[in-house]
Every structure is written in structure tokens, then in C-alpha cells.
Structure 1
Amino acid sequence: MKIRATLHLSEQSRTLDLNGRLGWAVTQLAEAGPKGVTPITRPAPRWSGYVFDLRELGVPIETIMEPHEGSYPGMHARYVLTCEAEISLLDWEV
């Protein structure tokens, strides 16, 4: 999958063409809006890695740490895209 993400930053826009999981991750973040995503709500093998790589490309993503209960209580991350984004599909390969 190849997508084009246009990020509307404070006074300018930035366009990125992303492949594979990075394209998928930024699409999930844009669709989730201000509520963001967690690895529980949008399962993927390496959310922290995708977020790291997207930040390296200049994508503004906030990490909010939240507690959780259950058999293994602890903390998990919620990732939130902190700008408006337009996503378009460029290519879909199977």
C-alpha cells in the first residue's frame, strides 16, 4: 500500500508519500482523530516503531501514557496525531 498524507501544520502543509506499515499507521492515526489509537484498539506488531519512524519524518504525534487493569496491570501508550491530515491512496499492491 502506498498513500499520500498531507499534514496541515500550524502555518504550512507538508506532503509525504508513505509505503506499507507507515502508510497504514498514519492512516489509522488520521481516522482516529483526537481520541488516538492504542495497540489494543488498533492491533499492530510495532506501534512504537511506526511512531518513531513517523516522528523522524516530521509527523507530529503525541504519546499519552494510560494505566490499565486486568491480569497484567500496568501502562500502555495512546498515540494521537496532533494536526489535521488528508490521506489518499496512491497504489495498492497485493
Structure 2
Amino acid sequence: MTEADYKYFLTYSGVRMPLKLVEPLEATELGNRNTYFRVTHDPAGRVATVEKLVYGEVELSHQYAYRDDGSLAHARIELGDEVTEVDCDETGAPIRS
């Protein structure tokens, strides 16, 4: 990834995945921020990765996989050393086991 591949945001809204990022930031605005979100999109324009950066270090990471119809199929969430894998039903809702 190059810096040009990333979009930056101040925060997100909602609780469903994929996270809905709000309050876009320009790369030039990051120097004054301790915390922000760095996002990539897949070729179809869907959110592929979300990373929460705190003091320049990735604190939280989401990686998303989608079905051919565009619905969320799977999410991998990393918080420190803890990894959570979440499979989703055809509506994109987490499947509870």
C-alpha cells in the first residue's frame, strides 16, 4: 500500500460492519491528530480495511470480505493480540454460534 491508497477519517458511526467512516480528513491534517482511522477500499469501492491509529501505531484493525452480491461475508477484527473472526449471513449480520 502507498499513502495514496488510503483515505482518512476522524471517526465512525453505528455498530454494524463494515464500519461507516465519517468526518473525512486530508493527509495534511494528520500531523495534529493523535487518533484517526485509515481506510482502504477494494476495486468495487467497498471498505476493505479499517485501521485505528493511535500515536502512529495500529491499535485496532478490521479486514472485510464480501460476497459477489456485495453483502459482507466475513470480518477479521484484530485488537492487540486478540483476533476475532466473524462470519456473516446473507444480510451482512454476524452469525452467532
Higher share of residues assigned helix: 1
Normalised TM-score (structure 2) = 0.26
Instruction: Name the structure with the higher strand share.
Output: 2
With a CA cutoff of 8 Å and minimum separation of 6, indicate the structure with the bigger relative contact order. Answer: 1
